[in-house]
Structure formats: C-alpha cells, structure tokens
A and B are shown apart, each in its own frame.
Chain A
Amino acid sequence: MALYEASATQLLSQLESGEVTSVEVTKACLEQIRKHDGEVGAFLKVMDDKALAKAEEVDKKRKAGESVGMLAGVPVAVKDLLCTEREVTTCASKMLENFVPPYSSTVVKKLEQADAVIIGKTNMDEFAMGGSTENSALGKTRNPWNTSLVPGGSSGGAAACLAARMVPLSIGTDTGGSIRQPASFCGVVGLKPTYGRVSRFGLIAFASSLDQIGPMARTAEDTALFLEAMSGYDPNDSTSANVPCPLFTQTVDKPLEGLRIGLVKEHFGEGLNGEVEKAVREAVAVYESMGAKVVDISLPHNKYGIATYYIIAPSEASSNLARFDSAHYGHRCDEATMLEELKAEEDALRAAGKEAELKKLDTPLIRMYRKSRAEGFGPEVKRRIMLGTYTLSAGYYEAYYLKALKVRRLIREDYDKAFKSVDIIMGPTAPNPAFAAGSKTNDPLAMYLEDLYTVTANLAGIPAISVPCGMTSDGLPVGVHMQAPALEEDRLLRAAYMFQKATDWHSKSPSM
C-alpha cells in the first residue's frame, strides 16, 4: 500500500516501529496533492515548508526517544475557517482574503500539541454557508469520484482531500450537516461531535449555537483517534462542555451488544433517492445480521428541522458577520471612488431638487459599510444575512426567531424520548448522492433540502456520524447517518467500527 493510502492508525504504527519517517509520509501526501489538487481543488493553501519542518522535528524527537504526541508525524488538513497563527485564514471569502490571525484556534493548538503535521488549509463554502462548496469565493472543489460533481459542503475541501488520498485526517466543521453530507458525497467518515465537546475558540463563527468542529477520516479508528486529539474542555469557550474526554481509541473496537437501532419512518419517505435508500437499508441489515434490533420510531418535529435551522442559523450569522464591516476586519472598498460616487449622487439629487431623498442619502461611513460588504460577501452569505436581519428585526422576532427556539426545544425533546427506546438512530445522511456542479446553484431551497436529515442533530446538540455504506450504480458513494444521545460519541464510533469490520465500503477509493 502506498503511504498516502494508509490510514492514520496504520501510519502511526509504521512511524513508531521506524519503518517510515514522517518526512516520507508528508512528502507522499504533498506529492499526491501536487499531482491531483489541480483537478480536485481541495486546498486553498498548502504549507509545504512548515509541514516538512514539523515532520522533521517529529522524526528527530522520535529518534531521540523523546515522548511524542498522539498524532506525531501524521499529516492533517485544516478547514480554512479555523484560525492558524500567522497563516492566512480566509473562510473562502473575499472579505478575509488577507486575514492573518495572530492566534491559533484551540483545535489547531491541540493538533500541534499532538505533534500532527498541518499540511494545508482546505476549501469550503464561504463562511461555511452552503452544501456544495460552490459558494467559495476562492476556488472550485470537485468530487474526486467524478470531477463534474460537487464534493458536498461546506467542508467540501476537507472531504475531497481525504477521498483523493491526499491526507489521512482532515478537520471539518458542521453547522447543519457540513461534515456529514460531504463525507457521504465523498465516501469518507465524518463525525459531528456533541455541541461543546470540541472548543469553538478560533473557529470563525457562522452560527455559534450550531457550529461544531469535528473529525473527518477514512476509518472509524482514525476518527476515534482524531476526535480524542481535538476534544476537551476549554476555559476560553464558555459553551465548551466541562466534562472529562473519554479515550475513544480504547473503546472503538468493542462491539455494541444488543444494539437497538431506531429507524425514523419519515426518513424513508418522499425525496429520498432510491439507490441511497437501498444502500442504507442494506447497512441496517448488516447490523441486524450482527444481532442488532431494529425499532421503528418517530421524531414528529423533525419535519420542521430545515425551517427552524434556516431561521436560527441566519439570525446568528447576521450578527456574527457584522464584525466584517471593513472598519476593523474585511475587505474595504476603494474609498476615493466611493466618495466620488456619493458626491455625484448628491449633486444629481440636489440638481433635481429632491430634498427628501437628499436627506436619506448615505453618510460616507454608511456608504463605506454598504459598499465594502456588497463587494466582500458572496450571494449566499448576503442571502443569509438578509434573512437573519429580517427574522431578528422588531416585529418579526417573536414570529420567527422565538418560535424557532421553541421548535428547537421540541426537536430536542423528540430525541430525548426516542433515545429511551433506542441506542442509535440510523438513516440516510443525505437524500441524494453527489450532484452535478451548477445544478442547484440557482435553487437555494433545493440545496437547503440536502441538509434534511442532518440539521436536527445540530439543533439538538447531539453527536452524529456519516459512514460510507454503499455505492450507486454510477459508482458514487452513499453514507449512512447515525445519531446518538449527547456525549455518546463512543457509541457512534463503535457502531461505525463494527460496520467497517463487516464491510469494505470505506476502503473503496476513486480512480484518479
């Protein structure tokens, strides 16, 4: 097996035994990126020199018999909305094209402490808004299984680089399904942890109450390893859960006895692609063959998930993105041109004697905000800022935002109830396999529906995972979605491992 094809767990054992060096592994990954990323476009930035320097450092430490971190020498890709000290962090937006944070996110720091080799920053939908990575202002990412298709989003780059065997581990973020849906489209594993399990400090926020950072990998074991490395309480994030972090690596290979799987009948209804359904049902059958029991359950408020999500997420986004006002952060319009335009408008209004309109004309400051933000943000980000501004504004707050909070609570209660009778809720991750680039860009609602099965885990704050479970007749990967109660990530990882022991969908790779 080529080094770039090996899992992180395999690499670690080879690195430990001295069979390979981190420099060799890193070079293999860099070479793979060099060869294929022109076509895939997973990376916005590859940090060759830094990565090799780190790899060398880790090799030296190992050689000297010094203790090393749990990811020592393993290449990792980081989604480009996680701040990396003194490295441009763009959120795939023109707004932040030149933003160099003076600090690293807690997660990146943890990876550094674990001696991981950070190899580059991956592409994404601008500010993590979107389901296809087509909203990136800085480049296109293609699905390695078929480059005319999207990789999913918003962690499209994170998923694509794994599928293309450019890196064994990749960090994604998930606000409504942004780890799991691209994992499903690209045939890799993606886990959204319990809200609070992983510190959000240094994650450029989209919707703070929903955002969660999570591991993406090709195997359950790697996912467990990676999650263990990034989890833990962080005093810099007051929403981070102050609970001990379990050692997922030590439990991942323990099968779940008497597993009760809940199937939500609404998940297998209208809108679900037949081939996806078939693959998911077969996955469920695999579990049954291992002794799992299937229980039909109902999550009655799940159907309001998308509507609720598209009120709460844009509301928070409209506020979170206010800081990109170009006074402190973000792209600034050309001021001289802006002032000239303003002057011309003023003169025209004055000449026309339109006193009332003259009074309503922007001040230079307001015009600077308007113009800079108009230039800096892409259409999807603008759409959501508008939506959020509307739903939070006086007179609509109660009808939309407050109501959405109430529904969110009901959704959570549905889960609490369901988890009294089942251990895991299983279903499709996305209603369809990867779709053609450009096919949904003019239909935002169709795009939003891709999150149908995933958003409710974010609304409820519970962990969820997508695991490759089959292929369509066109040879596209399909993912099975599993959800568990809060803080029960180990249950998801063990279930994923059981499945991967019995099947080989996770080891399928695209021909590149």
Chain B
Amino acid sequence: MSDQYDIIIGLEVHVQLQTKTKLFCRCSTTFGASPNTQTCPVCLGMPGSLPVMNREAFQLALKTACALNLNVPRFTKWDRKNYYYPDLPKGYQISQFDLPMSEDGFLLIRDPKGQFEPKKVGIIRAHLEEDAGKSMHDEVAGKADTRIDLNRTGTPLLEIVSQPDMRSPLEAKAYLNELKLILTYLGVSDCNMQEGSLRVDANVNLHIKSEEPKKVATPIVEIKNMNSFRAVERAIAYEATRQYDEWQETGKTIKDAPKTTRGWDDAAQITRPQREKEESSDYRYFPDPDLAPVTTTAEEVEAIQNALCELPMAIRDRLHDGYGIPEYDADVIVNQGQIAVDYYEALALKTGDAKMSSNWVQQDVLRVLKERDLEFDQFPITAERLATLLKAIMNKEIDTTRAKDVFTQMLESDKDAPTIMAEMGIEKVDDSAIDDLAREVLEANPKAVEDLKNGIQKAVGALIGQAKKKNPNIDPGTFRAKCIELVKDM
C-alpha cells in the first residue's frame, strides 16, 4: 500500500446464527417483526426469569468452529459482561470471557487476481454471546425520547476475532468475503449486513518504517458502524492515511495513547471519533451462576467435523483442477454460493464442455440475475434445460449469437431450446448446403476473394453477413472455414 508504513488490521466479526429461537429462550428470531412482539420474561430479563441454553445455537457454533479450524475445548462456560445501557434489559450480557467455546484457528485467503499473496489469517477465538436490543432515538418535535425494541435481545451471536494478520484493505475484504462464504455454505448464518446479521469492527494501526528505532506503531483505532464490505475497505484505507497524517503531526505512538473508537461515516466517507460509552469500560466479568457449564466431547466435535460440507476453498480447487477452468472462473462461481456451484457442475457434466459452461454461468446467467435482482435459486432455467441449448451450439445447430436469442426466450417461457429453435426455424445446415452457399457468395464478391487470397482474413466477415441473410441457420465458423478452403483452390 505504501512505502512509508504497513497497515496492521485485525477484524472482529459478529455473526448472527440462523436459529429459529433465541440463545436462552424460545422466542422467535425472525427479523422485522413489530417492536417487542418477540419477547418473553427471559429475554426481557424480568425479575425471577432464568436463561436456558439453546442447543441448536451451540451446534451451529461448533460447526463454524470446525470450519475455521478452531480448537474446541472440552469445557466452556458462560460469563456475565456487566454494563448499563437501555437496550440491555438485564444490565449484563451473557457472553464468554476466559473460556470461549473455540479458539486458535485460521482462515486461508487467496486473491484470484493475484493482488496479494495467499495467506493464513489467524483466528484468536470464536465465542457465543447474546445480542442486545435496539435503541431508536426519536427526536421529533423537540422531544428526546428513546424507544427500545427488544426483539433482537438474546439472538445468538458468534463473535469471531482474528489476529492482526491483514496488511491491506483488500486483504481485509478478502477475509470477510471468505468468512461470509463459509458461513453461508455452512448454513449457519444468512450474513445479511443490512439486517445486522453480520457486523464488523476493525482494529487498525500502522507500523511506520523509520530508521530509529526500526519501526514505530501508531495507536490502535477500533472502527465501528461499517455496514458493507466496501465500507470496511474504504474505512481502513481512510484510517491508514489519517493515522499517518496524525503521526506526522503529533508523533504519538501506541505507547502514548490507548485504543480509541471511531465510527465510519459512510456519507462523508470519513471516520469520526465516537463518544465513549461510559467512562472506562470495566465489565466486571464473572461466571454466570444461572447457567451450567457446557461440555463437548471429542467424539461430538469429530462427528461435526465429518459431517461438514465441502468448503469454498476446496470447491475452488476442485473446479480448477477437476474441470480445468481458470482459478478466476472457479472463484466467480464459488462466490455465488453452493447453488451456483451445483448449477455449474450439472451444466458442465451435461455439456461436457467445462469452460463453455463456465462462460455461460458467469456471463449470461449472472447478468440475468443482476438485471432482474434475483437470487441464484430463483434463476428460471434449470441446468438441464440450459445444457440442451449449449449442446446445440456445440453441435453447430445454432450459432452463439442466435443462441442468446433462444436463451432470452427460454427465460420468458418454460419451452425447451429445441422447441424455441424449431419455432424460430433454426436447424442445422448440412455441409453441402454450406458449400453451395459459400460458392455463391464468393462468386458474387470477387473483391473479397482477392483480399482473402492476399491474406486479409477480415474480408470474410462481410461474406458471413451476406450468407446469413440468405440462410440465417448457417454456422458462421463452418461457413468461414469453407470460404477460406474454397478460396485456396480458386
């Protein structure tokens, strides 16, 4: 990024686990319900209520831990993190402090464009905790009311804390992207940033290259409020420049200043200092006496490990090595999720042409999805039906340009490619007909024949155009080859 400094980046990611019910009660976790309708005495922290752990949430967390190569200790417990905030009804959050349910793993990141070297990003820990509610500040008509919605309170979160192993905004984005892919492949979270299912805080500082004493570290800044990966990338880039400028101005290093918190202002594209919650944050962690500790056996972890689905990185390698498509292609397909991978594989196997299948998925299928704002599983043409079209191209029954028209019609109806082709009068032209047509066109264009003789290949383009007018079904490739062959003998 810079010759003057290295950017040191660590990420804390809060992932909302996709359970039907909350972490310590049986309330629904559905997003978007009217305020305070998905609550009960337990998640409202009502006097006398007691939490009971949701096994499903713990299982999802274990699954994630296995996928992120984390160690799962035999014994984990729940701690209380005490602080006052109106969206925290009990006055403490149930979390995990010194004995998290998993620790010490890593995530591999790789850039198919080769903009950074592949690397292992260390993961310090992943622990479970309950979410807080939401405060909505209502300042209409000079009032300073705050309304509290506790629907989200008690939703299971997995906090995944990375080592400060990333060195550029691009690496940070790649880490987040890979993490999100893994979580969605595992089906443990929908990772919807808009709905707050995935929240990212970034810890950023610089190691400035200087002669004495070797290198200088700037104070660590925690950046909050980033609600897209793009925002994360930009916030980190902004922060790097800002910290460098500040260092030049003040000379303050990590030894002079404690960690501070800044919020990303997406509209202004800058980070701003955030008002610290309350004084210093002494959370007075201690083991939650209302919850029994949780033990996990090695067999249980092994069973989960064995039942784990194929992970994105492995699929990329398999697509690249097994189907022979470029790494970049494999990356694009895998990034679309498991359904895209399944679709691609079905298409490639049916057509027998892996690269062509990859091109169609990447260009045509994805374009349609984007234009129509659809998810992959909503794509109207099945792999089997698309395969018949691609086979027709391969058999030279139809040229690529007209195949795209057929494709468009397939999107609109549930008719198969052969039906649409028949309706459009598309049929394979046999060799003798092409031969006749080529001779006819060549005779009518002596100038073009002359050019071709002189090796001006592009002259054939105009001939194809004329031929197509006479018979739209001709395969341009076959026709071109025929023309060149005939000219040689002329």
Q: Which one of A30-38, A201-209, A220-228 contacts B?
A: A201-209
In contact, A322 and B289 (Cβ under 8 angstroms): no
Stretch of A1-9, A148-156, A287-295, A387-395 at the chain-chain interface: A387-395
Contact A238 B50 (CB under 8 A): yes
In the bound complex, CA of A506 to CA of B416 (Å):
93
What's the Cα separation between A47 and B285 when bound, in Å? 41
B41 adjacent to A239 (CB under 8 Å) = no
Contacts of B376 in A (CB 8 A): none
Q: Report if A366 contacts B (CB, 8 A).
A: yes
Within 8 A of B (CB), among A294-338: 315-316, 318-319, 321-325, 327-329
Task: Please tell me if A83 contacts chain B, counting CB pairs below 8 Å.
Answer: yes
Contacts A322-B91, A323-B89, A323-B91 given; does A389 touch B284 at CB 8 Å = yes
Chain A residues with CB below 8 A from B282, complex form: 393-394
Q: Which of the residues B80, B89, B284, B290 comes within 8 Å of A328, measured between beta carbons?
A: B89
| Complex partner residue of B82 from A200, A204, A235, A319, CB under 8 angstroms | A319
User: Which 10 pairs from chain A and chain B are nearest by CB?
Assistant: A322-B91, A209-B289, A208-B289, A392-B284, A202-B48, A204-B47, A83-B48, A327-B86, A204-B48, A328-B89
- Contact flag A322-B286 (CB < 8 Å), given A101-B47, A103-B41, A238-B291: no
Q: Across the interface, which residues of A come within 8 angstroms of B481, CB to CB? A: none
- Which B residues are CB-close (under 8 A) to A102? 41, 46
Write the chain A residue with the least CB distance to B146. A365
| Interface status of B33 (Cβ within 8 A of chain A) | no
Please tell me if the beta carbons of B286 and A397 are within 8 angstroms of each other in the complex. Answer: yes
A394 to B284, CA, bound (A): 7
Q: Shortest CB–CB separation between residue A309 and chain B, in angstroms?
A: 14
Chain A residue with minimal CB distance to B150?
Answer: A328
Q: How far is the CA of A321 from the CA of B92 in the complex (A)?
A: 10
26 examples of A-B residue contacts, CB within 8 angstroms: A82-B48, A83-B47, A89-B48, A99-B47, A101-B41, A101-B47, A103-B41, A103-B49, A205-B290, A207-B289, A208-B290, A237-B50, A238-B50, A238-B292, A319-B80, A319-B82, A321-B91, A323-B91, A328-B45, A366-B278, A369-B84, A389-B284, A392-B82, A393-B282, A397-B286, A401-B286
Q: Does A105 contact B (CB under 8 A)?
A: yes
Contact yes or no, A319 B49, CB < 8 A: no
Q: Nearest residue in A to B78 (C-beta to C-beta)?
A: A238
Measured between beta carbons, the chain A residues less than 8 angstroms from B46 are: 101-103, 329
Q: How far is the CA of A207 from the CA of B53 in the complex (A)?
A: 20
**Contact (Cβ within 8 A) B48 A205:** yes
B320-349 interface bits toward A, Cβ cutoff 8 Å, 1 = contact, 0 = none: 000000000000000000000000000000
In the complex, B44 has a CB within 8 A of chain A: yes
Give the shortest distance, in Å, between A75 (CB) and chain B (any CB). Answer: 23
Cβ A322 vs Cβ B90 within 8 A: yes
A residues less than 8 Å from B73 (CB atoms)? none
- Bound CA span A326–B90, Å: 11
> Which residues of B41-73 have CB atoms within 8 Å of chain A's CB atoms?
41, 44-53
Q: How far is the CA of A83 from the CA of B53 in the complex (A)?
A: 22
Write the chain B residue with the least CB distance to A201.
Answer: B50
In the assembled complex, the CB of B293 is this many whole angstroms from the nearest CB of chain A, namely 10
Q: Once the chains are docked, how many angstroms separate the CA of A204 from the CA of B47?
A: 5
Interface size class of A (residues with CB under 8 A): 35 or more
Residues of B within 8 A of A205 (CB): 47-48, 290
| A251, CB-defined interface residue at 8 Å | no
A interface, CB within 8 angstroms of B: 81-83, 89, 91, 96, 99, 101-103, 105, 200-205, 207-209, 235-239, 315-316, 318-319, 321-325, 327-329, 364-366, 369, 389, 392-394, 397, 401
Chain A residues with Cβ below 8 Å from B53 are 238
Choice from B84, B86, B292 contacting A322 with Cβ under 8 Å: B84
Q: A236-B52, A238-B51 are in contact. Are A328 and B44 (CB under 8 A)?
A: yes
Evaluate contact between B84 and A325: CB separation under 8 angstroms: yes
Residues of A within 8 A of B90 (CB): 322-323
Chain B residues contacting A200 (CB-CB under 8 Å) are: 50
CB distance from A207 to the nearest CB of B (A): 8
For B281, the closest partner residue in chain A by CB is A394
Q: A102 to B50: give the CA distance in the assembly, Å.
A: 14
* Closest B residue by C-beta to A91: B47
Instruction: Return chain B residues, CB-CB under 8 Å to A91.
Output: 47
Among A89, A96, A204, A322, the most chain B Cβ lie within 10 Å of the Cβ of A322
A239 to B290, CA, bound (A): 6
> Which residue from chain B places its CB closest to the CB of A363 in the assembled complex?
B278
Residues of A near B49 (CB, < 8 A) are: 103, 201-202
Cα–Cα distance between A209 and B51 once the two chains are bound (Å): 14
Check if A239 sits within 8 Å of B47, measured CB to CB: no
Task: Determine whether the beta carbon of B47 is less than 8 Å from that of A96.
Answer: yes
Residues from chain B with Cβ under 8 Å of A236 in the complex = 50, 52
CB distance from B137 to the nearest CB of A (A): 11
Instruction: Give chain A nearest CB distance to B288 CB in angstroms.
Output: 8
Closest-by-CB residue of B relative to A235 is B52
Residues on B with C-beta less than 8 A from A208 are 289-290
A328 → B minimal CB distance (Å): 5
Q: What separation, in Å, do the CA atoms of A486 and B144 have in the docked complex?
A: 54
Q: Is the pair A319, B48 in contact by a Cβ cutoff of 8 Å?
A: no
**8 Å CB interface, B5-47 against A:** 41, 44-47
Residues of chain A with a CB closer than 8 A to B290's CB: 205, 208, 238-239
B284 in contact with A319 (CB, 8 Å): yes
Find chain B residues with CB under 8 A from A101 CB. 41, 46-48
Interface set, chain B 340-366, CB cutoff 8 A to A: none
Q: Contacts of B50 on A, CB cut-off 8 Å?
A: 200-201, 236-239
Q: In whole angstroms, how far apart are the Cα atoms of A238 and B52 in the complex?
A: 6
Cβ of A112 to closest chain B Cβ, rounded Å: 16
| Contact between A323 and B82, CB atoms less than 8 A apart | no
A362 closest partner in B (C-beta): B278
Give the nearest-CB partner of A315 in chain B: B286
The residue in chain A whose Cβ has the minimal distance to the Cβ of B275 is A363
Given contacts A200-B50, A329-B47, is CB(A239)–CB(B292) below 8 Å?
yes
A82 CB contacts on chain B under 8 angstroms: 48
Q: Which residues of B contact A238 (CB under 8 A)?
A: 50-53, 290-292
How far is it, in angstroms, between the C-alpha of A103 and the C-alpha of B44 when the chains are bound? 13
In the complex, besides A99-B47, A201-B48, A204-B47, 15 extra interface pairs with C-beta distance below 8 angstroms are A102-B41, A200-B50, A204-B48, A205-B48, A208-B290, A209-B289, A238-B52, A239-B50, A239-B290, A315-B286, A319-B286, A323-B47, A324-B47, A365-B86, A366-B84
Residues of B within 8 A of A89 (CB): 47-48
List the B side residues contacting A394 at CB < 8 Å. 282, 284
Which residues of A are found within 8 Å of B92, using beta-carbon distances? Answer: 319, 322
Quote the shortest CB–CB distance from B291 to chain A (angstroms).
6
Smallest CB gap from B290: residue in A? A208
How many Å from the CB of A278 to the closest CB on chain B?
Answer: 39
